[in-house]
Structure 1
Amino acid sequence: MKRFIKGLKSDLNSYADTSHASVNTAPTQSFLLQYRKHRGVNLGSWFVLERWITESPYREAEAPAQSDLDVAKGRNAKGILEKHWDSWIGVHDWNRLVSLGINSVRIPIGYYHACGADRTILDGTDFFPFYHVYEGAWRRITNAILDAHRRNITVLIDLHAAPGKQNNDAHSGTSDRANFFNDPHNQRRGTYALESIARSLTTFINSFDPPLDNVIGLQLLNEPHPPNDTILKSWYTTTINSLQSIAPSIPIYLGECWRPDVYTDYVTQELRTPNPNALVVLDHHLYRCFTPDDIRASVQDHVRALKDPSGIAQTFERIAERLGRSGGGVIVGEWSGGLNPGSLRGVPNERRDFVHAQLELYERTCGGWYFWTYKKEYPGDLGWSFTEMVEKGIFPSIVGLVRKRSPSDVDSQREGERRQAALDQARNAAYDAHREYWGRQPGNYDHQLFATGFEEGWKTNYRFFETLHPQGGQVSEAGYRHALAFRATSNHGQSYWEFEHGFLQACSASRTDFQKTFC
């Protein structure tokens, strides 16, 4: 075994790929923030309003009083909206998120919220007459990015409302029917809107020295509802290619229309972009309270389905692996504790069990998650209000690891020796189990790749543990693990899976080691 370890260490550099923006090439803070595990909430109804979340901004809205456009057409819209923007999320909210372990927020916006940076974004759209209403929104959005940055919270900007509406819901900007996919003009305006937002984000980020690093993605469309996949894929490709020429360092997030395999095929087989190393992430939304099947099922049925290894867990694991082998990943960008009343059986802790089953699934299989929604204007919703669910013990009081001491607090030489010994022990045990199992299976193998991957995975996760130190002692850890494994080596041949297996097992083993030692 000593000879094996010596040979393994001498071979590590031959497997490291220094051509990628990988963890082997002194990853930047921005890279680590983009690839860490995102544990987040949606700041719903801050900019794109939803009446069931915040009622008061609709008090002067024009009938039917369901959408942003209805509010904009009403009396005193500018004053009502600016008061709401300035009061809905404040310093106490940001600090509370940190205390609960939340390290990321998804901010839904409409294209019209960016008109303060580019007035022409409204040209040829329903919101053209309302520049004066929305001109102050962009300043609030950039202030939110800065407030988040001060607390090491990352921000995913989500285009929730596109020109002409990409779905039929009122939270897509207007109360009319969706007309984004039926009108090429709206599609062009949608691409332009995202180009404009990307330019404005880049300008804002680079106005600081050093530049801000906490904008971890731009989501092109929230819950698109195209008449067919071809039209959406075509628009995605056109828009992504344009965005990568404008802001190549900002990851792209894509709604997958609740067809994860179809859009995994698109990302891995069809999408060709100018920047092959760009991070492209699929965003899946998971709710269990709307369909007839969901309504008929008890909460206990839902929990069992979430824990079933052959159910949604298998889907997430499959697409995470496939996307990761193209350098991408998957998140659950919206989920909740919402249940139809008929699903509740009055069993103690049934709401908590439902939430915890989801958390366990997303933590294990996805690059991150964003709960919908952070809070509601009026109390009493224990399925959708994150703040109330935490207060009632339905949602954990803190997510992720919390360190009690830092690696920097201990003697570096002793910690280096301890960590190397722990790595050697964990790697050797995993290697022996891997070799024993596959030794019983026919085929040609390269088991040293497993050991090499294990070492890379361990070191990678420790880079996240050590490099990122949010306030409050929360620990950052690798999120898009399959993508990180893919970027850690240029050896993507027939036996790459062994490197990948080792890498993923090491991420889990290193987490256990860090938790035992520092948490």
Structure 2
Amino acid sequence: MHKLTDFFHRHSRSSSYQSLHRDPAAPAPKPEATAFPTEADIYRHRKQRGVNLGSWFVLERWIIESPFRSAAAPGQSDLDVARGQDAKQVLEHHWDTWITRADWEWLAQHGINTVRIPIGYYHICGADASVLNGTDFAEHQHVFEGAWGRITDAISTAHQFNIGVLLDLHSAPGKQNRDSHSGTSAPTPAFFTPQNMAHTTHILTTLARHLPSLPNIVGIELLNEPQPDSHDDALRRWYTDTILSVRDAAPQMPVYISDCWRTDEYGGFVAALSKAPQRLDGVVLDHHLYRCFTGEDVNTRAEAHARALVDANAGTPSMFARVVQNLQSAGGAMVVGEFSGALNPNSLAHLGGGPAEMKARKAYLKAEIELFERYCAGWFFWTYKKESRDLGWGFRDAVEAGIWPGVGLVVRNECERDAGRSGRRNTMMDKALAEHTSYWDQYPGNYEHFRFGDGFVQGWDDAYERFLCAGASSPVPVPELGFKGPWAKRRAEGYVRAKGGAGNVWEYGECFCCLWWCGHGFDDGVDGVCVEHGLIQGVDAARRDFIQIYCEGGA
């Protein structure tokens, strides 16, 4: 189970390509204060293929009915359950039975390497009762105080199965959206007040301080699906201030923020944060994708929904490409924190049920996964399971019905011993370096092209270490490097510390985009240019090589 950790202890330094020319004036390598990558870094940067453990802690009646049977009216939210009869016993029984060790084992066996766990601020009161002060849940500490121990147990159990955990604050004081899954059944959000926003920052720093010292915590999502309306500027200020506060409590913790379904705008915001001082690095944008709610969704057939996700010129793929390029070039990343296979019944009605409908459902899921695998650092299906069977919303039901597509790369050949790998790497690096040099020598400048080669080799070796860790006999997809932008930025920072050359580190592995062009006088029609530097080219070349040599196929 801990082969990933053992492998990195054996391979903590990547090999170098000795035939590259080196700068004789470069300083001697300097040791980093903390070796990169650690086990936590591997969890946090690998491609996340995940599910939401919906309605485990934050309850939703449409997912599971039983905890609501004794709830107070209107019986739709956690607060309604807390005000009902025998709330403590009802909830603790649910927490202990909805997700068990058997579920973790099933998830690991089916290729899930990360889970997103929605929690409410009241679920943290067992760690620090002050999170309830002045809130709707202030009188219900005795109901929820047992949740925190179960959350930390969940993180520990997930670690035993090599599963990462993203903790998502789904319910904030005053509620941040109009839905009952934000904690109460109140019709309007009251989160966007100075008091509630400041208290939520306190809650998140409390969460960060009390997390167990386990490497599989991949991040904290500050707020699920906020609806800021006229409070957009206030939300962005709050995001910035809260990221800093969380980083004071947990300096290396990745932070995830919702795009509020305004992906371009918040993508630009996250990219700007990623270029800011170091404590604002490591911010991940979370986008949620559903195709079953709007009038347009209802009037679109299943086949058309699928086509719109695989057509590179269609709106959603174009947006993904644009936003992810911007984020990656700035050392950031995007995940799809929620999606499902659910379609409106009207989108499926023309199929008449039966095999035709199952085929269309599978094609739609496959289109979603292909889109996410191409552009995103990770994805999380909503939700793992429901109390009743549901092929659209239940991941487990979709898998067991045979409509979940194959995802990732599965090893078919022995990959621990491959004498030809370094030769293939060097051949590909020589070719890529020649193309890089030829292109940039068109433009006068003080280049150090050997740094591109250094980055390519590092990227190749890093990517292969992800693959090799899985073992040749593993029946599930191997881990992959998913958070390329953040990884490249960390590697580039270490490279500069060791070998200098900050002015040309873009050739090795730091972002290079239209901002560089504008700063150097090249402003003639190059807006949006983003050149993949050596490290990311090395990562991508290694993946192509791995597929050709070792794999049965992949997304």
**TM-score, normalisation: structure 2:** 0.82
Q: Distance in 1 between matches of 2:38 and 2:149?
A: 27
Alignment partner, residue 476 of structure 1: 479
Q: Which residue of 1 aligns with 2:226?
A: 224
CA distance in 2, matches of 1:13, 1:198: 43
Q: 1:119 to 1:276 in 2, by over 3 A?
A: closer
Matched residue, 2:345? 341
Change (3 A) 1:271 1:457: closer
**8 Å CA contact retained: 2:274, 2:280:** no
Match for residue 104 of structure 1 among 102, 105, 114? 114
Report if aligned partners of 2:372, 2:379 keep a CA contact under 8 Å in 1.
yes
- Residue 79 of structure 1 aligns to which amino acid in structure 2? Q
- Secondary structure, aligned partner of 1:120: helix
Between stretches 477-486 and 493-502, larger displacement belongs to 493-502
Give yes or no for contact 1:320–1:482 (8 Å, CA) kept in 2: no
Q: Residue 338 of structure 2: SS of its match in structure 1?
A: strand
CA shift, 1:275, in A, is 3.6
Structure 2 segments unaligned to the other structure (5+ residues): 1-16, 497-501, 513-529
The answer as to 2:199 corresponding to 1:193 is: no
Picking from 280, 288, 293, the partner of 1:290 is 293
Aligned position for 1:266: 269
8 Å Cα contact 1:325-1:483 kept in structure 2 = no
Q: C-alpha distance in 1, partners of 2:377/2:29? A: 22
1:421 to 420, 423, 427: 423
How far did residue 277 of structure 1 move?
6.8
Q: CA 1:270 to 1:472, structure 2 compared with 1: closer, same or farther past 3 Å?
A: closer
Give % identity. 46
What displacement does 1:476 show? 1.1
Q: For 1:367-407, what per-residue CA distance to the aligned partner results, in whole angstroms no more than 9, with x for missing partners?
A: 0000000000011x1111000101111113x5322335664
Give the deviation of 1:26 after TM superposition. Answer: 4.2
**For residue 13 of structure 2, what is the aligned residue in structure 1?**
none
User: CA-to-partner distance for each residue in 1:240-286, whole Å, 9 max, x for gaps?
Assistant: 11111111121100011011221122223367876447411010001
Shift of 1:234: 1.2
Aligned counterparts of 2:532 and 2:395: Cα–Cα separation in 1: 35
CA distance in 1, matches of 2:30, 2:157: 34
Which residue number corresponds to residue 515 of structure 2?
none
The correspondence of residues 92-491 of structure 1 with structure 2, limited to 5 A, is 92-201=102-211, 204-205=212-213, 212-227=214-229, 228-269=231-272, 275-276=278-279, 278-310=281-313, 311-344=315-348, 345-346=350-351, 347=356, 349-379=359-389, 381-396=390-405, 399-404=407-412, 407-408=415-416, 410=417, 415=418, 417-431=419-433, 438=439, 443=443, 450-467=452-469, 474-489=477-492, 490=496, 491=502
Find the counterpart in structure 1 of residue 522 from structure 2: none
Single out whichever of 368-377 and 418-427 deviates more from structure 2: 418-427
Deviation of 1:320 after TM superposition, in Å, equals: 2.1
Which residue of 1 is the match for residue 516 of structure 2? none
* Residues 1:84 and 2:94 are matched in the alignment: yes
Provide the secondary structure at the position in 2 that maps to 1:500: coil
> Offset at 1:451?
4.2
Q: Cα distance, 1:191 vs. partner?
A: 1.0
In the alignment, what sits opposite 1:8? 20
Letter in 2 for 1:321: Q
Aligned residues of 2:172 and 2:191 also touching (Cα < 8 A) = no
Distance in 1 of aligned mates of 2:25 and 2:331: 20
Instruction: Please tell me whether the aligned partners of residues 110 and 476 of structure 2 are also in contact (alpha carbons under 8 angstroms).
Output: no
- Residues 450/317 of structure 1: CA separation in 2 closer, same or farther (3 Å cut): farther
Q: CA RMSD in A?
A: 2.9
Q: Any idea what SS the aligned residue of 1:281 has? A: strand
> Partners of 1:121 and 1:297 in 2: how far apart?
44
The code of the aligned residue for 2:398 comes to M
Q: Is the 8 A contact 1:450 1:499 kept in 2?
A: no
Letter in 1 for 2:368: Q
Kept after mapping to 2: 8 A contact 1:454/1:499: no
C-alpha deviations, 1:157-214, integer Å up to 9, x for none?
000000110000000000003434442221122111111111111xx22xxxxxx100
**8 Å CA contact 2:452, 2:533 repeated in 1:** yes
CA distance in 2, matches of 1:109, 1:241: 21
How many Å separate the matches in 2 of 1:232 and 1:21? 34
Cα deviation for residue 338 of structure 1 reads 0.9
Change over 3 Å in CA distance of 1:15–1:501 after alignment to 2:
farther
Residue 154 of structure 1: CA displacement? 0.2
Kept in 2, the 8 Å contact 1:461–1:510? The answer is yes
Of 258-267 and 157-166, deviating more is 258-267
Answer whether contact 2:384 2:395 (CA < 8 A) is retained. Answer: yes
CA offset digits 1:86-117 (Å, max 9, x no partner):
01111111111111111000000000011111
Do the aligned partners of residues 111 and 15 (structure 1) sit closer, same or farther apart at CA in structure 2, a change above 3 Å counting? farther
C-alpha distance 21-31 of structure 1, shift in aligned 2 (>3 A) = farther
Taking the aligned partners of 1:216 and 1:292, their CA distance within structure 2 comes to 36
Count of residues in Structure 1 that have an aligned counterpart in Structure 2: 495
Letter in 1 for 2:133: D
Alpha-carbon distance in structure 1 between the residues aligned to 2:60 and 2:443: 56
1:6: Cα distance to partner? Answer: 6.1
Rounded to whole Å, the distance in 2 between the matches of 1:116 and 1:185 is 22
What secondary structure is seen at the aligned counterpart in 1 of 2:306? Answer: helix
Secondary structure at 1:356 match in 2: helix
SS, match of residue 341 in structure 2: coil
- Secondary structure in 2 aligned to 1:338? strand
Secondary structure at 2:115 match in 1 = strand
Alpha-carbon distance, 1:15 to partner: 12
Task: Please report how far the alpha carbon of residue 11 of structure 1 lies from its aligned counterpart in structure 2 after TM superposition.
Answer: 6.0
Identify if the C-alpha distance between structure 1 residues 43 and 316 changes in structure 2 by more than 3 Å, giving closer, same or farther: same
Residues 442-451 or 350-359, more deviating: 442-451
TM-score (norm 1): 0.88
Per mean C-alpha deviation after superposition, the further-off stretch among 507-516 and 5-14 is: 5-14
TM-superposed CA distance for 1:480, in Å, is 1.0
Contact 1:162 1:180 in 2 (8 A): no
CA contact (8 A) 2:337 2:380 kept: yes
How far apart, CA to CA, are the structure 1 residues paired with 2:186 and 2:331? 38
Partner deviation per Cα, 1:12-39 (whole Å, 9 max, x = no partner): 99699979899xx541111111111000
Q: Assess, with a 3 A threshold, how the Cα gap between structure 1 residues 472 and 389 changes in structure 2: closer, same or farther.
A: same
Distance 1:12 1:423 in 2: 25
User: Are residue 75 (structure 1) and residue 85 (structure 2) matched?
Assistant: yes
